[in-house]
């Protein structure tokens, strides 16, 4: 995939299980990752998995010089399944915002699929976003 950017806090998701469930917290941070338009790799599933839940938490408000949008999802299964560009309009990405999308629950993802954050329309100039994913390895 050309043009992708690996974030500073990138993770290869690993089984850290609690009765078969794993919870991972992934992070995009403008201070470490910059804010240019593009696709940012937050992490990667090592096996075929079932995502039970995904929550996007805006720790620090996102800002831009225009009407930036942010989407969060997976490379193939659903590129905006965790947060679509409507929910991810910069005006909605305020301090402590919590965003969930129903399409990001009970989502099967293939092995080696990436969790991505896509900045579109215009660059971000600030912001910190955490993605909390609960998943179960199914294969």
Residues in the chain: 139
pLDDT for res 10: 81
Any idea where the domains of the chain sit in the sequence?
4-13+21-137
The band of 4, judged by pLDDT with boundaries at 50, 70 and 90, is confident
DSSP secondary structure letters along 50-100: EEEEEEEEEEEEEEESS--EEEEEESSS-TTSSB-TTTTBGGG--TTEEE-
What are phi and psi for residue 67, nearest 5 degrees? -110, 65
The number of C-alpha atoms within 13 Å of 75 and in the hemisphere containing its C-beta is 16
Q: pLDDT (tens digit, 9 = 90+) per residue, 25-63?
A: 999 999 999 999 999 999 999 899 999 999 999 999 999
- CATH of region 4-13+21-137, choose from 3.30.160.340, 1.10.10.10, 2.60.120.1110, 3.40.50.170: 2.60.120.1110
Q: pLDDT (tens digit, 9 = 90+) per residue, 71-126?
A: 999 999 999 999 999 999 999 999 999 999 988 788 999 999 999 999 999 999 99
Whether residue 17 is predicted with pLDDT greater than 60 in this model: the reply is no
């Amino acid at each position: 995939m050309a043009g992708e950017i690996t974030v500073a806090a990138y993770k290869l998701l690993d089984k850290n299980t609690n009765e078969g469930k794993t919870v991972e917290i992934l992070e995009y941070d403008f201070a470490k990752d910059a804010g240019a338009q593009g696709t940012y790799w937050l992490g990667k599933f090592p096996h075929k998995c079932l995502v039970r839940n995904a929550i996007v938490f805006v720790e620090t408000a996102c800002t831009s010089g225009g009407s930036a949008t942010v989407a969060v999802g997976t490379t193939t299964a659903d590129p905006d399944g965790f947060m679509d560009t409507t929910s991810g309009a910069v005006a909605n990405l305020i301090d402590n915002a919590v965003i969930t999308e129903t399409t990001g629950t009970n989502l099967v993802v293939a092995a080696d699929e990436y969790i991505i954050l896509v900045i579109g329309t215009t660059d971000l100039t600030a912001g910190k976003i955490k993605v909390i994913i609960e998943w179960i390895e199914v294969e």
